[in-house]
Amino acid sequence: MEDLIVLYEDNQVIVVVKPQNVPSQADITGDLDMLTIVKNYIGKKYNKTGNVFIGLVHRLDRPTGGVMVFARTSKAAARLSEQIKEGELEKKYLAVVNNRLRDKRGRLVNYLIKDEDNNIVKVVPAAIEGAKKAVLDYNTLEYAENTSLVDVKLLTGRGHQIRAQMAAQGCPIYGDVKYGDLHKGRLALWSYSLRFLHPTTKQIMTFKVFPPVVAPWTQFAIEKYINIVKPE
């Protein structure tokens, strides 16, 4: 894979860009994963021998790319995990979806259950045993032909959440064959913004990164909607 893109690092956290189709952590495929990549980067840069501690505090689905934060100490890992639990770590995504959502902006609340055999998440009635509540806010930014550019803020962190909820609205994400789209190519879902409190300094840290400059992203004037702010 390409060299690791590091947006920020200090002795407590490291913020990087995860390429699409790279797992967040080791899985059954045995493919190189982000946790290992970050460990190798830290070990090589600082000439560390033995096991390097890197805490995985959140994940992106394998087909999804974008900004991720990893903890460099157990204290940072615990404090970032607590922020996630309390809903204080803010994750925003851009998605290109097919068709138009019924309302230009709104909140989607569904209950999801995972079909382990097919590795797919289904929207089900709340009464189904094992179903987990999934909530997101969305805002449609722009339309192009039969697709929409949507800004999504996750309020819960379920696997395949955005993909399943958009598909349930009749608006599967571009490139998401698993959830009903017919376009081949990479999934048009990108984690473009991450905001959290630094675990020791308590400074508000915000990181933003543009999606790849390829179709279908190039149909939209994304630079109008993302203000890249470099941390001090």
Q: Please write the tens of the pLDDT for every residue from 10-21.
A: 999 999 999 999
| Token code pair at residue 5 | 């893109």
Q: Which pLDDT does position 225 carry in this prediction?
A: 87
Calpha distance 195→208 (Å, rounded): 9
Among the residue ranges 90-94, 150-154, 180-184, 215-219, the one predicted with the least confidence is: 180-184
What are the E-state strand segments in 32-144? 55-56, 65-71, 90-98, 105-115, 120-124, 132-144
Helix (H) or strand (E) holding 151: strand 147-154
Domains and CATH numbers, the chain: 5-224 (3.30.2350.10)
| Token code pair at residue 150 | 């949507």
Which residues form the catalytic set?
61
**Average pLDDT rounded to a whole number, residues 100-104:** 96
Q: Which pLDDT does position 232 carry in this prediction?
A: 41
Residue type, 75: K
Calpha distance 204→139 (Å, rounded): 24
Predicted confidence (pLDDT) at residue 230 exceeds the cutoff of 50 = no
Q: Which pLDDT does position 140 carry in this prediction?
A: 97
Number of helices (H), then strands (E), in the chain:
3, 11
Q: Is 158:136 a contact under the CB 8 Å cutoff?
A: no
Dump pLDDT digits (tens) for 69-87: 999 999 999 999 999 999 9
Q: Provide the β-strand partners of residue 197.
A: 204
Q: How does DSSP classify residue 179?
A: G
Predicted confidence (pLDDT) at residue 145 exceeds the cutoff of 80 = yes
